[in-house]
Amino acid sequence: MLKDFLKQTSNKYIGMKQVYQHIHHQGPLTKPQLMELTKMKQTTITRYLEELAELQLIKFSKYDASTGGRPPAMFEIQPSGGFIIGVDLSRIHTEIVLFDLLFTPIEQCSFPMTKQHTPQVTIGQIVDQIQIIIKKHNISNQQLLGIGLGTVGPIDRENGTIINPRYFHAPGWEEVAIVKALQEHFALRIRIDNGANTAVLGEYKRMKAAKEQTILYCISGRGLRCGVLHQGQIIQNKIGDASAFGEMILHAASPVNMEHNQTLSQFISLETLKEKVNQQLDRGEIDSSEELLQRLNEGDPFVKEVVLESAYYYGIGIANMINIISPDRIILNSPILKVFPAYYEKVVETAKAYIYRLDRHPGNFEMGSEDENAVSLGAAVMVFNSFFE
């Protein structure tokens, strides 16, 4: 079984795990490609491949294009060798996804985060849904590698605690020991990180990116969360808060009125946009972020004007991040993007106008997709990667 194999720590298994990991991230791969990646001898690679195949952890995939002589065989991961649960816990919804070892979604479900979704209610629903999925697919504890959580911060990763996030509809989201609560129901490896961090890890895995690439992933909505990945590793801050980018000050007040500083999040959050629209509407007020998005989707000219103005400030904030980080890829994800593509265009246009040395560090802008399970995918990848640390 894969779980037993991944727990082995002898030198023999360290080498086999290295081969397995390369096939997992970049496969299908040929024997010569694995020799180049691992710097191992052909006899060693051959022995490891035979043992991995005997354990049913890899399989023969196809033959690579021949340059003369017998075409080289290619090897890939056996996707049914194990499973991982990825959870995306946000202020808007919670999503639970079962992935196979190629991180293909096998089953997924979600529920909205309402005023009734206190930590106790939310954790209860997560437990129930995971148990339903496991039973439906007849997955044993030995087959399930673990559960990954991508959630709102700040968090204490070491103790598995959500500390004191803002903007949840329900009360009680302070010092929530969510990992401990889940471990009372599942004797599994459980890992937690900010949703923006797991999202950028998910994108890295999805595109099989080169390790040298730096990726910036931004999720905006009720706030702003950003994840950065460099050299295949998430860049984490000590306080476990991916919302720190949103605290970037875009408008500084005088030294005697510092409380009037305006941050990037204050310019672009759905709550701020709703309040700004309501201040100037001469008709019924907008009651929720969902109604704001609906008005935007229907083409309300005033709502569009307010949102496009915020896109300008978002672009400036993104440019500041790019000037410091110099990412190769910049991925933007927001419910606004789904209903108003002009918002994305304005953000990118503004960012490019403020990027220092755009000619040297242009970066590739991309729009994230809600259908890609980036947060839950990255949470599952986090669990998988933990076996190789």
Taking only the tens place, the pLDDT of each residue in 173-225 is: 999 999 999 999 999 999 999 998 999 888 887 776 566 688 999 999 888 88
Separation of alpha carbons 196 and 202, rounded Å? 10
216 Cα distance to chain centroid: 11
Angle CA 94–172–277, to nearest 5: 70
Helix (H, G, I), strand (E, B) or coil at 315: helix
Helix (H, G, I), strand (E, B) or coil at 31: helix
Taking only the tens place, the pLDDT of each residue in 112-135 is: 999 999 999 999 999 999 999 999
- Name the pairing type of β-strands 329-333 and 214-220: parallel
> Please, are residues 311 and 347 in contact by the beta-carbon 8 Å criterion?
yes
Separation of alpha carbons 196 and 203, rounded Å? 11
Separation of alpha carbons 158 and 179, rounded Å? 10
Separation of alpha carbons 72 and 30, rounded Å? 6
Separation of alpha carbons 253 and 150, rounded Å? 35
Taking only the tens place, the pLDDT of each residue in 309-348 is: 999 999 999 999 999 888 999 999 998 988 999 999 999 9
How high is the pLDDT of residue 340? Answer: 93
The token duo for 112 is 């909205």
243: nearest Cα among 272, 270, 212, 221: 221
The model's confidence at residue 65, banded by pLDDT at 50, 70 and 90, is low
The domains of the chain, with CATH numbers, are: 2-80 (1.10.10.10), 82-204+374-386 (3.30.420.40), 211-368 (3.30.420.40)
How high is the pLDDT of residue 356? Answer: 84
**Contacts (Cβ under 8 Å, ≥6 apart) of 325:** 214, 216, 228
Per residue in 74-98, is it b (16+ CB within 10 Å) or e — as a string? bbbbbeebbbbbbbbbbbbebbbbb
Q: pLDDT > 70: what percent of the chain?
A: 90
Mean pLDDT of 54-77: 76
> Mean pLDDT highest for which of 3-12, 100-109, 360-369?
100-109
User: Is the pLDDT reported for residue 256 higher than 70?
Assistant: no
Task: For tokens 């795990």, name the residue.
Answer: 17
- Name the pairing type of β-strands 189-194 and 329-333: unpaired
Largest CA distance in the chain: 78
DSSP, residue by residue, 276-309: HHHHH-SSPPP-SHHHHHHHHHTT-HHHHHHHHH
Separation of alpha carbons 379 and 253, rounded Å? 39
Length of the chain: 389
The model's confidence at residue 259, banded by pLDDT at 50, 70 and 90, is low
121 Cα distance to chain centroid: 24
